Structure 1
């Protein structure tokens, strides 16, 4: 059993780390928002693509976390070390390939996804997208490194790296955008350099000899396909799940992009604030994967079920507090961000709706699924998530927006419906116990 102190030691830094990772992009958006609606619209459009790709990398890293934590749960340290090396290898290869594709076809990709937007928005979008693509390998390898630390119940080290990277990002954003007047290029460059710092720091710290999983000789890593398949078995379904989720957001974003610059800016800021009021709870879910992974690796299934229930209850308290805090801050945030009055009004209204709906169903809709994935029940969560997202979130939102003319709030009505259905299905799955019937290692 994990003591309350051990859980707190794992979960608190993880929650704060998730907040810091989210702030990496938020800082840039807040700084850029003072350049006008075209700049913030461009950043919000490209960030929708960035999140899609970053979530795919994160899913692979999470697959590695599960494999490593289950090996550690049954005291197989050598296999855990080799799994970590293979995680770095496959993630690096995939991230370089994806970055190259995005660099070569950035313009066509933006037009394919978002259609014809205003020329100034497209100009800023291409600038931001090109520099973002360069940072993809940095993001992927940092995610791997932080996941390897988490598998060893060490969430403090990634948190400290994120803290330093965020301070660096803030300084560079202010320097490049407001000091050197580099506009969107300055913000993107600041974030890219901060992510490069994160990657270098985490890979250097993983060399420490006192670690259970310690990585050296990165250039000597060669593929071991049995380990890679095990990681991909967990990572690909989670990656598809996350990607489908983000594809749905892109489909919705394409609808919002036809509502005008004010609606794009309002939706972009609302997305950021909704992410912030759930990010601490997501940190709890990420930590739950390590806990459940170790329990399942050691054959302690009853403990795994206990921790899923316990962490879902804890996340509910966190979500309520976070929603109330963000709602209290939304008005001054729109002022600080220099949002136009029409955009600010829409944003405040949508955040108010989120504050009411999110505490009711969000925790049940997301936290148990982290435990299911750690137990190897990845296909069920993938299929469930994809079907609910497309039928409830995307279809309903597009119908309300395009047919009934609801405006940006249609996005959130679809979102609330998605959360509710998901919460019901995952509650039934948890009670059935079928999520325990899988074998990872």
Structure 2
């Protein structure tokens, strides 16, 4: 009993030391983190299961999903970036105690994100064939056919996921993460259940994947709109208010959102370009890359959650102009993230033989996939957290222009150029491309650390 009390007291003391400040205490921080963690766990597990299920339709289907998902991430991150601008502004207004501006900002963010998503969706549907030919023209015919079906279906669902992301982003900005969890569970469990029915049971392959995605996102979006319209008292959201554009508020949202959107366009454009020269290495290399990425997401589950939570936590500290707390919590979240990576490696690396069976991977690519996962497991505790959580914290303080420029330079000079040199020119193949990604993480970590040590990142006054 005494030992138990000592352990409990010691744990509370550590939490107080690293996660309690003048702005917020550890109980509130972990109340923000835990629903996000569960949400991310389900998102990643659902993604793993979906990739495993579509693998039953063959290697061509897995390759097509991997190819188009890189394009989907590239496009979707444009409107998610604008939603992040809303999250930052909502968090800062929450921190400053301005409830009226919290509501107005959330409404304008939802409107802006919806407009962006509809425009992107229309343009990609119109020009889908030229886009696929430019990016993946060297892919095998069956892979290309599957990619075409998946891309059009994804485009139809863009406005749905955009509205969902804007709503949940605004809710996270005020620290209201439990409804985000429930809405995400509803959408992702529906998606998985439909995938089981349409892909595994009815053998509909790529068409089944597309139908389940659209139906699940329709349900998730409808549920999120009903929630903020009828049950949420923080935003007082009304459709008629969303139809009126308030340019003063929108300008502040875009100050954060547009540089981040530009960053996402060029950052994910670089990843997309990387994907095009992976296509040159053949379908097996593309499949190995897709499976390795899916497994690597499991390692990033906890740290990703901390990165998302950092926007709310740091944003609220900056809203109160408490720079000391903003610095303290950023460092604490990065340290906690490194610990989570070590734990994930200790648990997941021994489970690799079981994980790889989920994907029906050809025997000849399994050693390559393991090497890629091992490289990530070693590098992530050292560089990933500072490479991804720290820029989220900087962005929450309004330092969006710097983080965007730094990310673009490191992406194009290292992941793209170095990836091509190592993977194609020097002949290291998919391992070379993967190593270039690790080097790029390291460069970002150094750049953002230097910025964080100075004063310019918190000099922006948005509220």
Q: What range is the shorter-chain TM-score in?
A: over 0.9
What root-mean-square deviation, in Å, do the aligned CA atoms of Structure 1 and Structure 2 show? 1.5
Q: After alignment, is 113-122 or 130-139 more displaced?
A: 113-122
* Aligned with residue 21 of structure 1, among 17, 30, 43: 43
In structure 1, the partner of 2:168 is 146
Give CA deviations for 1:280-323 in whole Å, capped at 9, x if unaligned.
21211111111111111112111111111111111111222223
* Aligned with residue 350 of structure 1, among 369, 372, 384: 372
- For the Cα contact (< 8 Å) 2:57–2:205, is it kept in 1? yes
- For the Cα contact (< 8 Å) 2:64–2:147, is it kept in 1? yes
Give CA deviations for 1:96-117 in whole Å, capped at 9, x if unaligned.
1111111112121111112321
Gap change, CA 1:225 and 1:219, over 3 Å in 2: closer
Gap change, CA 1:325 and 1:111, over 3 Å in 2: farther
Give the TM-score of the pair, scaled to structure 2. Answer: 0.92
Query: How many Å separate the matches in 1 of 2:107 and 2:441?
Result: 36
Query: How many Å separate the matches in 1 of 2:375 and 2:153?
Result: 35
Query: How many Å separate the matches in 2 of 1:324 and 1:114?
Result: 37
- For the Cα contact (< 8 Å) 1:69–1:290, is it kept in 2? yes
In structure 1, the partner of 2:459 is 437
In structure 2, the partner of 1:388 is 410
Give CA deviations for 1:47-77 in whole Å, capped at 9, x if unaligned.
1011112222221111101111111211211
Query: How many Å separate the matches in 1 of 2:231 and 2:148?
Result: 43
Instruction: Kindly state the Cα deviation for residue 163 of structure 1 after the two structures are TM-superposed.
Output: 1.6
Gap change, CA 1:102 and 1:323, over 3 Å in 2: farther
Instruction: Kindly state the Cα deviation for residue 156 of structure 1 after the two structures are TM-superposed.
Output: 1.2
Instruction: Kindly state the Cα deviation for residue 220 of structure 1 after the two structures are TM-superposed.
Output: 5.7
Query: How many Å separate the matches in 1 of 2:346 and 2:57?
Result: 29
- For the Cα contact (< 8 Å) 1:28–1:191, is it kept in 2? no
Query: How many Å separate the matches in 2 of 1:326 and 1:136?
Result: 33
Instruction: Kindly state the Cα deviation for residue 362 of structure 1 after the two structures are TM-superposed.
Output: 1.0
SS at match of 2:462: coil
Query: How many Å separate the matches in 2 of 1:272 and 1:245?
Result: 19
Runs of at least 5 residues in structure 1 that lack an aligned partner in the other structure: none
Instruction: Kindly state the Cα deviation for residue 178 of structure 1 after the two structures are TM-superposed.
Output: 1.7
1:330 maps onto 2:336 in alignment:
no
Q: After alignment, is 209-218 or 105-114 more displaced?
A: 209-218
Gap change, CA 1:22 and 1:133, over 3 Å in 2: farther
After the TM superposition, which residues 175-254 of structure 1 pair with which residues of structure 2 at under 5 Å, given as runs? 175-208=197-230, 211-218=233-240, 221-254=243-276
Give CA deviations for 1:191-233 in whole Å, capped at 9, x if unaligned.
2211222211111111245522231235762111121111111
Give CA deviations for 1:111-150 in whole Å, capped at 9, x if unaligned.
1112321110011000111111111011111111101111
Give CA deviations for 1:34-57 in whole Å, capped at 9, x if unaligned.
111111001100010111122222
1:271 maps onto 2:293 in alignment:
yes
In structure 2, the partner of 1:423 is 445
After the TM superposition, which residues 27-176 of structure 1 pair with which residues of structure 2 at under 5 Å, given as runs? 27-176=49-198
Query: How many Å separate the matches in 1 of 2:166 and 2:242?
Result: 17
Instruction: Kindly state the Cα deviation for residue 344 of structure 1 after the two structures are TM-superposed.
Output: 2.3
Query: How many Å separate the matches in 1 of 2:92 and 2:381?
Result: 32
Give CA deviations for 1:303-351 in whole Å, capped at 9, x if unaligned.
1111111111111112222233332333222222111112223212211
Query: How many Å separate the matches in 2 of 1:218 and 1:11?
Result: 33
Give CA deviations for 1:214-256 in whole Å, capped at 9, x if unaligned.
3123576211112111111101111222222211111111111
Query: How many Å separate the matches in 2 of 1:23 and 1:356?
Result: 22
Gap change, CA 1:365 and 1:50, over 3 Å in 2: same
Runs of at least 5 residues in structure 2 that lack an aligned partner in the other structure: 1-22
- For the Cα contact (< 8 Å) 1:240–1:382, is it kept in 2? yes
Gap change, CA 1:326 and 1:249, over 3 Å in 2: farther
Query: How many Å separate the matches in 2 of 1:265 and 1:370?
Result: 31
Instruction: Kindly state the Cα deviation for residue 270 of structure 1 after the two structures are TM-superposed.
Output: 0.9
SS at match of 1:145: helix
Q: After alignment, is 139-148 or 346-355 more displaced?
A: 346-355
- For the Cα contact (< 8 Å) 2:93–2:101, is it kept in 1? yes
- For the Cα contact (< 8 Å) 1:23–1:166, is it kept in 2? no
Give the TM-score of the pair, scaled to structure 1. Answer: 0.96
